[in-house]
Amino acid sequence: GGSAEVDDYPKNVTPRGKFLRSGRIPSVDEAKGRVAIIGHSAGGWIGRVYLSQRDYGGRVYNGSELVHSIVTLGSPHIGAPGPAFSGVNWINREKHGLPENVRGLAVAGKGLLGKSSGQFTKNAYEFCLGGDGTSYDGDGVTPVES
């Protein structure tokens, strides 16, 4: 089994799949330079996890050594109750937000009001922030406020 809490994830899980053709992540010494990460939706907060120097589910990624910037598009950055947001809540416990050597930009869409864009949008906004989803504006899934 697993856990809804990141700090309680099992530590003995072997990752599946390969990141590169070689099947391994290159070391910092092998890197040819630093890159920018662009993450959409959950990919934004997952990118922030990659930059962290803390143990996330049994692994420390320390990606700030290889990344100079992160851009998030329609990503929730404010946690909410429930297991779906446990990763967001975890990364928000970072002492200083992003590492000092990494620049960040969060981009949010707006124009789809919860009160007039249908039940899906209203429910999505409620899921992200709680309360009444009709009072939020966003991209139809993630409210600007998150």
Whole-number average pLDDT of the chain: 83
Helix (H, G, I), strand (E, B) or coil at 58: coil
Question: Residue 36: beta bridge partners?
Answer: 69
Say what the pTM is.
0.79
In one-letter notation, the amino acid at residue 70 is I
pLDDT exceeds 80 at position 17: no
Say how many C-beta atoms besides its own lie within 10 A of residue 131's C-beta: 9
99, 51 Cβ separation under 8 angstroms = yes
pLDDT exceeds 90 at position 40: yes
Say how many C-beta atoms besides its own lie within 10 A of residue 105's C-beta: 11
Q: What is the pLDDT of residues 88-136, one digit of tens each?
A: 888 988 877 899 999 999 999 989 998 999 999 898 888 888 788 888 8
Rounded to whole angstroms, the Cα distance separating 123 from 128 reads 9
